[in-house]
Structure 1
Amino acid sequence: MHRALGTTRYASRRSLPGARVIHQRFLSGTSELRGYKDTLQNLRIGSHTRVIFQGFTGKQATVDATDSIAWGTKIVGGVTPGRSDTHLGLPVFPTVRSAVEELNPDATAIYVAAHQAAAAIQEAIEAEIPLIVAVAEHIPLHDMLKIHSILKTQSRSRLVGPNSPGIISAVGKCRIGFQPLPFFSPGSVGIAAKSGTLSYEAVASTTKAGLGQSLCIGVGGDIVPGTRLTEALSVLAEDNDTKVIALIGEIGGEDEMNAANWIQEYHARSNSPKPIVALIAGRTEQPAYTYAPASHLQHRLVSEFSGRAMGHAGAFRVSGQPKAKEKMTVLEDVGVTLIDHPGQFGEALKSRLRPEDRISSPGIATATLADMKNPMFEQRRDFHTLRRPFIRDAYHPSAAKQQTRHLTIRAQQSLDILGSKGIPCEPYKGKGPLRYLAISIDRDTRTPCILASPDPYNHSPLHNIPLPYPLPEKLEPLIRRLLPEICKRIALPHSGPIKKVLYPLVANLIQMFNDSEGVLLVTLLHYNNTQRGMKVGSAHFHFDDAASFRRGPELQSLRDTSLYSPEELEAEKSGLVYIKFPGPRKTIGTLVNGAGLAMNTVDNLQNKAANFLDTGGKATSETVKEALRIILRDERVKVIFVNIFGGLTKGDMIAEGVCSAFKELDIKIPVVARIRGTREEEGRKVIEQSGLEGLYAIGDFDQAVSKVMDFGGPEEMATVEGEWDWIKSPKHEAEEE
């Protein structure tokens, strides 16, 4: 029997102390204007939906539009600036406005470069297109904040994405995005997902189980998505074709907590609520500065307040936000069935279907598997899966620069920046209490926010409640309004000596956050009670690397590379997202395509994963080879787990790449390869017939994990899953003394 939500330990960050339920943001407490909520109905796509493409004549738009048209999607034309002709036999217009006047579309797919995407989204909003789908990764964060400030003022357009595979109706044969079509079949499962790769596995699993899909909404892994999990759930709950729901979340933000609150209300008001099965990725999160040297006291002071971005831009946790395990607990408390791997969705959802909702068509899975062999669905290079796109530095046009999304500058430099602006700064020496003050993003309101706390090391959600403020707002009245509440939250009087430091500090942090496109700016304040004086004792600043082309090389030159292992820095050059996990007993190397699947993979390895490695949504022979080479540099690794879902890449191509790398790198340790998706059987045969000793092909995830664990050695002891126990804070050291 599931416990009532009111009995859980997690209370709202916006509730009064002692509150017992999560704040009801979606139905009754939302900060958004009612108008944008009214656009939820625009997510109900189907055979009637008329779709255009912005960037229609580009390579990736052409590929995806061709496949979608062949599948049955009603694409009616597109937009390419400066063109008035035809493409794929459909009209091309120079502006969105002219396309809307002639074609009357219900939806648009944004297929332009990330740094141009916000302008394209705004053009679609101004043209009042009902549904806007943005698939690109690395749209600058502050561009998206401005887009949300526009969305809140209107009631015509709904945004899905960015960093999303899109939205697809298997029943209505309408695909707006780049989802791998061979795995979809009309059916009864609705999917709301942050992760693309995890949703593809869920689709394959439900197709194999004979359930099929109804409507799949990829909300995306961005920090401030246009549509949240809760909103997607509300649409699926009212969708007549949807009988059961798959929910896929991950570390970062509170969307899953809000979803749990929505589900509790949904169960209370519905006589026959639809069953929900969920998966949450990211239990094995990592602190921001895993490899900060012990001498870097300034980094050790603040490293507990922000986690590493686990592939997705939004897959990181800041102080006060819930861990993945907490999200799982709250969802289970409201009656959601939790699973460990997306391959389990099919059977878990089938077991919860009511007899009257079971699908009688036995041909769904068979027909879809046949489609997988259709030449139309052979490998195609996809827009979203271009590996963390390289951009040309305006100051060094010949050099391609890899985006890391979080650009962290040196700790001492952070203090120097504040000191140069007249703010009292003195490096903290480990004596006396500290107070926490930061500028970040409130993901619920989709605005900047102040984070302030009297105890930096208390990570309770009720202890660090965001104080959001809107954009744009004049700085001086904003500071005057915020300052009394900030003083209250850091437990200091709103007096002259305090304001003398706080006013310029807050003003400069907000200005820097805006001008340099910050993600998280953290300061620790040291208050001398005897002298009634306050100084900044430590600071660390994260900026959005996706926007660095607008700032020039200044901040890039301040990046502190000593915080990362040599392997991590080398992986960046090859477009791989690699995070090395600390600990002597981390013996399993991982190579996975897609951030969500990579998180889920390390979650299932009982804390023995040596690394997180995301090749992106596309794995090629070259990326596989480079990834294996980097993993092998870690002397702790005793076995490598290759976990690839070939939605866009054929399984036999992946297998050939693994075999080639295995031979070329002369690998002496076991490699277990799990290749699922397109031509998976052919992929397994390639490995099985290679004759390579120590290379194993296993299709079932649980069996593959079991094999890997056998090679990985004894289970690591005395380590708590998901805890950042590698660091000892100055506060803890003082207590020990």
Structure 2
Amino acid sequence: MPGLCSLTVRAGRTPYLRASLQQIKHFSSSLRTCDYADTLPNLKIGAHTRVLFQGFTGRQATANVKESLEWGTKIVGGVKPGVEGEHLGLPVFPSVKAAQERAKPDASAIYVPGNQTAKAIEEAIEAEIPLVVAVAEHVPLHDILRLHSILKTQSKTRLVGANCPGIISAIGKCRIGFQPLPCFAPGKVGIVAKSGTLSYETVASTTRAGLGQSLCISMGGDPLAGTNFVDALKIFENDPDTEGIILVGEIGGTAEMDAAEWITEYHRRTTNPKPIMALVGGRQAPPGRIMGHAGAWTAPGEPGPEEKYQALERAGAVMVNHPEKFGEGMKALLSNRFGTTSHGSVFGNQRRGMHTMRRAMLGRQQSLPRTQSRTLYIKQFQALDMLKQIGISVNETTPSASDFHLSLTIDRTALSPALIASTSAGFESSSSVRIPFAYTKGSFSASDLVVAAVATQLGLSTSAHEKIAELVQALWQIFKQKEAFVLEVRVGDSAPGNALEVRGARFGFDDAAFRSSSRQKDVHVLRSVEEEVPEEVEAEKDGIVYVKLNGEGSIGTLVNGAGLAMNTVDALTHHGGSCANFLDTGGKATSETVKSSFRFIASDPRVKAIFVNIFGGLTRCDMIAEGIILAFRDLKMSVPVVVRLRGTNEESGQKMIAESGLPLHAFDSFEDAAKKVISLARGQ
């Protein structure tokens, strides 16, 4: 059948079991080997790497090229479709193919908007560019699904991203992305992260500790990443420049669980393994919400953040609750590494100190109604209407114990669509099977291997295969035509004849297709903003991701970057605080976004103190401080504000805050700032 390379049944560790199913065994034995993994060495960039830019003459690319050239990156030119000439003293090529023939680039940095990113990546794949780095947000999910179906069929091009700051060799002075260069120093620590801002904090921490970095790889915040944690770990394992490894994860997907498996095996086969530290962001994220990053959400059946944390810890990674602790922690681990060959003595002696406190997880906050900032869930009757229109029997009823559940969604490890069949509404691992399949698949029939696996899992008779195939085909039609990311249905038998009918549905659609490409307007007009949290809707208009948390939270948070915002809520909770909101300014804290953010936070009567946690990377801390002071004055704020500024020009920014004469409290250390804001929120 077409695309069999991508057809697998996830069995064994996570999170869908049933390895005893004969159908699963048949699938596993039917697979052919794909060779995208052969492109892993392309990640080892350095002084030798010749970098091309797509979108070369744009404003962002121009600024990035100037910085990177000055730092030492070897840039050989760029592409502007149909145009030849010169820009910044470098050649402009009319196509990637022409650039490949004349300049022989080793890597391409793609600096085009999200709606053009897929086309640019595909052009680079066709030209067989060894490494492609895509930094844009809002790349439509189905564009990425199609690209991954292409990447799996070749062994020349490796993708990093999308929605990521890129990859950077501090030793080789090779920067492919938009990382803040002042934070980096040549050194010995390899870093792989989902979050950009958390990776910058991690870099700054290792620089302050005098360790520096060897190679930093971004997995990115999208659901489907071109390069994942295990890919990076394999590079770090064999990299002579890398002596210690740091992994920064977050909610969503199973990449951290895959990494934990790899780390366990690595320690088993290695006498004196390189020390590994890790962090998992979003441990306090409310269930069912998307936390800024397009991929920062936990689908039914996926492991939660606490499960990921524990898996990494069991595997031997030293866990921290804030990236500020990575530098000194890694320094201690590296100093011990060569003093003993005992795995237990290195990790056992250090782990307790790295935690700051070993305790049970605090109670998870209850979720608000499922309003989303990066996706759209339609109402059940609207989802059922979609099914009716293509001939599926629908009968909306209350749940029955005999009902079964199907979900057509994405598999973040297989980088493809996947069907999940379950006898439980929560898609628990013991009652579910996940079956990834190729995005290029045409249709489903009663004799299809996927349909057979679903029927076997659900205990359905052979006579039911045709009805299951019809339902799966209908879901697949909606999934592709309407660019969905998850379609869940509850199904039961209807008498007479035991025909199948859909009794409930929950459909979610990718809004990047609408936001960046103006596709799927008919779906997105179904959004009911009047049923969403008003402050969240208003914040979205200003490019701010604001999530109002339930409970008695008394601390308002204002943070630049989704990963850092999640970790801020986690860390404040760890220190005994209670947060009223999650707020991501979108990665760029200007005076206007700061002012809007303060307004949303202060509108919540629960807030007794505000914690501003900004990492000044591309935006300088002194500029951020000025924006905070102006916004505070303009809004006549009365709530005390604690400001932690780190990054570029941090001392200047802290001084401006301290000398403002306003009730603003400036800090460098996160722990000191956390203690202060918690104290203020308690009225102390």
On the 8 A contact 1:158/1:226 being kept in 2, the answer is: yes
Tell me whether 1:338 sits opposite 2:319 in the alignment. yes
Alignment partner of 2:510 out of 544, 558, 575: 544
Offset at 1:30?
13
The TM-score with structure 2 as length reference comes to 0.88
1:594 alignment partner in structure 2: 561
Q: Indicate yes or no: 2:534 matched with 1:566.
A: yes
Q: Which of 645, 649, 657 is equivalent to 2:619?
A: 649
Structure 1 gaps of 5+ residues are 1-9, 20-27, 288-306, 359-402, 715-737
1:286 positional shift: 2.2
* Equivalent-residue separation in structure 2 for 1:493 and 1:517 (angstroms): 32
Offset from partner CA, 1:33-56 (integer Å, 9 cap, x none): 442111110111110111110111
Partner of 2:667: 698
Superposed displacement of residue 563, structure 1: 4.7
Matches within 5 A, 1:496-645: 496=464, 499-500=466-467, 502-527=468-493, 532-548=498-514, 549-583=517-551, 585-606=552-573, 608-645=578-615
Please name the residue that 1:243 is paired with.
Answer: 243
Please tell me whether the aligned partners of residues 222 and 314 of structure 1 are also in contact (alpha carbons under 8 angstroms).
yes
Aligned to 1:382: none
Report the residue type matching 2:192 in the other structure: A
Match of 2:435 among 467, 472, 495: 467
2:406 is aligned with 1:437: yes
SS of 2:35 mapped into structure 1: helix
Answer with 238-247 or 403-412: which moved more: 403-412
Q: Secondary structure at the match of 1:353?
A: helix
Q: Measure the CA separation in 2 of the matches of 1:48 and 1:63.
A: 22
Answer yes or no: is 1:451 the counterpart of 2:455: no
CA contact (8 A) 2:513 2:520 kept: no
Shift of 1:342: 0.7
Instruction: Answer whether contact 1:320 1:463 (CA < 8 A) is retained.
Output: no
Alpha-carbon distance in 2 for matches of 1:106, 1:418: 48
How many angstroms does 1:269 deviate by? 1.8
Q: Could you say if the C-alpha distance between residues 136 and 214 of structure 1 is closer, same or farther in structure 2, counting changes exceeding 3 Å?
A: same
SS at match of 1:669: coil
- Tell me, what secondary structure is at the counterpart of 2:433? coil
Going from structure 1 to structure 2, the CA distance change for 1:32 and 1:120 (only over 3 Å counts) comes to farther
Equivalences for 1:38-49 in 2 at 5 Å?
38-49=38-49
Q: Secondary structure at the match of 1:171?
A: coil
The residue number in structure 2 matching 1:166 is 166
Please list, as runs of the form range in 1=range in 2, the aligned pairs for 1:23-422 lying within 5 A after superposition. Answer: 33-287=33-287, 307-354=288-335, 404-422=373-391
Q: Is the 8 A contact 1:250 1:315 kept in 2?
A: yes
Q: Give the 5 Å matches for 1:476-515.
A: 476-477=444-445, 480-496=448-464, 499-500=466-467, 502-515=468-481
* Cα separation, 1, equivalents of 2:316 and 2:661: 48
Matched AA of 1:489: Q
User: Which residue of 2 is the match for residue 673 of structure 1?
Assistant: 643
Distance 2:320 2:485 in 1: 32
For residues 480 and 72 of structure 1, do their structure 2 counterparts lie closer, same or farther at Cα, with a shift above 3 Å needed? same
SS in 2 for 1:641: strand
From the superposition, tell whether residues 143 and 155 of structure 1 become closer, same or farther in structure 2 (CA, over 3 Å): same
Q: Give, in whole Å, the separation in 2 of the partners of 1:478 and 1:93.
A: 51
Distance 1:357 1:662 in 2: 51
TM-score by length of 1: 0.82
- Change in Cα spacing, 1:611 to 1:274, as seen in structure 2 (3 Å) is same
- In 2, the alpha carbon distance for the partners of 1:630 and 1:338 equals 33
CA drift of 1:32 comes to: 8.5
Give the drift of 1:335: 1.0
Aligned residue in 2 for 1:24? none
Asked whether the 8 Å contact 1:248–1:278 carries over to 2, the reply is yes
Corresponding letter in the other structure for 2:15? R
1:410-453: CA deviations, max 9, x gaps? 22211122123232223233565542211100111111011111
> How far did residue 408 of structure 1 move?
1.7
Q: Do the aligned residues in 1 keep the contact of 2:197 with 2:564 (CA within 8 Å)?
A: yes
The alpha carbon displacement at 1:266 in A equals 1.2
Give the residue type in structure 2 aligned to 1:343. E
The CA deviation at 1:550 is 4.7
- Whole-angstrom distance in 2 between the partners of 1:172 and 1:479: 54
Give the letter for the 1:350 counterpart. Answer: K
Kindly state the Cα deviation for residue 586 of structure 1 after the two structures are TM-superposed: 1.7
Change (3 A) 1:479 1:667: farther
Secondary structure of the structure 1 residue equivalent to 2:418:
strand
**How many Å separate the matches in 1 of 2:500 and 2:481?**
26
Shift of 1:691: 1.1
Could you tell me how far apart the structure 2 residues matched to 1:239 and 1:29 are?
A: 34
In structure 2, relative to structure 1, the CA distance for the partners of 1:463 and 1:710 (3 Å cut) is: farther
Contact kept in structure 1, 2:446 and 2:469, CA below 8 Å: no
Shift of 1:488: 2.7
Q: For 2:198 and 2:32, how far apart are their aligned partners in 1?
A: 29
CA positional deviation for 1:87: 0.7
Question: Residues 118 and 324 (structure 1 numbering): CA distance in 2 closer, same or farther, change over 3 Å?
Answer: same
Greater Cα offset, 702-711 or 616-625: 702-711
Q: Secondary structure at 1:52's aligned position in 2? A: strand
Instruction: Decide which moves more: 681-690 or 502-511.
Output: 502-511
Aligned partner of residue 257 in structure 1, secondary structure: helix
Alpha-carbon deviation of 1:347? 0.6
Q: Report 1:4-15 matches (<5 A).
A: 11-13=13-15
Gaps of at least 5 residues in structure 2 are: 1-11, 22-27, 340-371
Asked whether the 8 Å contact 1:11–1:462 carries over to 2, the reply is no
Instruction: Please tell me whether the aligned partners of residues 622 and 649 of structure 2 are also in contact (alpha carbons under 8 angstroms).
Output: yes
In 1, Cα distance between equivalents of 2:20 and 2:449: 27
Q: Which string of whole-angstrom CA distances, capped at 9 and with x for unpartnered residues, describes residues 602-641 of structure 1?
A: 1123272111111122111100100111112222222111
SS of equivalent residue, structure 2 residue 91 = strand
- Summarize the Cα distance change of 1:409–1:31 in structure 2 as closer, same or farther, 3 Å threshold: farther
User: Structure 1 residues 643-652 or 403-412, which shifts more?
Assistant: 403-412
Contact persistence 1:169–1:215 (CA under 8 A):
yes
The letter of the residue matching 1:12 is: T
Return the alpha-carbon distance in structure 2 between the equivalents of residues 78 and 191 of structure 1.
Answer: 28
- Quick check: 1:33–1:152 contact (8 Å CA) kept in 2? no
- Provide the identity percentage: 51
Which piece of structure 1 moves more, 631-640 or 613-622?
Answer: 631-640
Q: How many residues align?
A: 630
Amino acid at match of 1:411: Q
Evaluate the alpha carbon distance shift between residue 29 and residue 545 of structure 1 in structure 2; reply closer, same or farther with a 3 A threshold.
farther
CA distance in structure 2 between the partners assigned to 1:558 and 1:175 by the alignment: 42
Q: 1:16 Cα deviation (Å)?
A: 4.4
Contact 1:193 1:217 in 2 (8 A): yes
What's the secondary structure of 1:332's corresponding residue? helix
